[in-house]
């Protein structure tokens, strides 16, 4: 393997790692109703290469940000 091939593989790995980290951070910040659902989405997100994509397609809209339904935190008054 030459250095160009290694560089490409490192870039691909970093790309997928960052997407996985972003999915996990999003899961941590959201409320999924139960801790079991949150844990399940966390396990799905860490599946190499495709976990973040599955979460993005199926789980991203399932969770709610805490306080999103609370009118006292609404700044549009």
* Domain range list for the chain: 3-62
Looking at per-residue confidence, does 15 or 69 come out higher? 15
Instruction: Supply the pLDDT for residue 6.
Output: 94
Instruction: Supply the pLDDT for residue 61.
Output: 85
Structure tokens at 71: 């009118």
Instruction: Supply the pLDDT for residue 2.
Output: 92
Provide mean pLDDT across the span 24-37. 92
Instruction: Supply the pLDDT for residue 37.
Output: 93
């Amino acid at each position: 393997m030459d250095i160009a091939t290694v560089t490409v593989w490192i870039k691909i790995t970093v790309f997928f790692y960052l997407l996985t980290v972003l999915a996990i951070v999003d899961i941590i910040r959201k409320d999924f109703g139960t801790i079991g659902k949150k844990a399940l989405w966390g396990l799905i997100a860490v599946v190499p290469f495709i976990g973040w994509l599955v979460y993005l397609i199926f789980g991203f809209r399932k969770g709610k940000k805490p306080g999103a339904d609370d009118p006292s935190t609404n700044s549009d008054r």
